[in-house]
Amino acid sequence: MTITYCIGKSLYVNITNRCSNDCKFCIRGYGDSVGGAESLWLEREPSREEILADIKNHDLTGYDEIVFCGYGEPCERLDDLLWVCKELKKSNAPIIRVNTNGHASLLAGYAAAPLFESLVDKISISLNAASAGEYDELCKPIFGEQAYEGVIDFATSVKKYVPDVTLSIVGGTTNQQACQVIAEKLGFPLRVR
C-alpha cells in the first residue's frame, strides 16, 4: 500500500481514495500510478499513526516540501490530515502543502479554514472552471452547483490563515483566460497544471 511517494524534491502523501468530485480529467481514470508510486489505490485508509510513521521513514531533510495529494481529496479526512500536520510541525518538517479541491468546509459542515492556521504553509486549490455550471459539468461534485461557490468561499477564507494560497486549473479543460480573471479578482496566482 503506497502512502508516500516522491516527485522531484517533494514527498507526496496519499491518505485516501475518497473524493467529493468525479472530474472528467482526473488522472485516476487513466492509470494506477504517479511519480515513483506503483499504485496509489489504497487497500484501506491508513490510520493517522501509519501515515505519520510512513512519512518519518524518509529523511525529510532531503525534501523541499511534504505535499498531501494522492488518489483522493485529503480533506475527506480533515481531522487526520490536520493531526499529521501538527505532529510534523513538532519535528521541524519541511514546508507542508495541501493540494485540495476546496471542499473542506462543505465536507466538514462548518467553516474549516481557521483549522489550517500554523499547520499548513501552502494550499493549492483546484478552481478548474470559470463558472458554477461549468464546474458542475467538468468536476461532477457531490454538492452540485453549490460546490463552486464553496471552493471560492474556502479560498477567500483560508488565505487569512495560510501564507501561500494558489488556485489551479488543468490546461486545456477550461477557459484559462476567464479563470485568470477570477483568480486576479480574488487576489490569487493561477497555476496551470
Residue with cell 502512502: 3
What is the model's pLDDT at position 29? 67
pTM, entire model: 0.94
Cα–Cα distance list, 181 to 68, 129, 190 (Å):
27, 12, 9
Chain length of the chain: 193
What is the model's pLDDT at position 137? 95
Q: Which residues contact 123 (CB under 8 A, 6 or more apart)?
A: 97, 98, 99, 100, 116, 158, 162, 164, 165, 166
What is the model's pLDDT at position 46? 97
Question: What is the rounded CA–CA span in Å between residue 86 and residue 193?
Answer: 28
**Domains of the chain as residue ranges with CATH:** 4-192 (3.20.20.70)
What is the model's pLDDT at position 26? 80
What is the model's pLDDT at position 96? 98
pLDDT tens-digit profile, the chain (193 residues): 899 999 999 999 999 999 999 998 887 666 656 666 677 889 999 999 999 999 999 999 999 999 999 889 999 999 999 999 999 999 888 999 999 999 999 999 999 999 999 999 999 999 999 999 999 999 999 999 899 999 999 999 999 999 999 999 988 777 889 999 999 999 999 999 8
Question: What is the rounded CA–CA span in Å between residue 158 and residue 116?
Answer: 7
CB count within 10 Å of CB 29 equals: 9
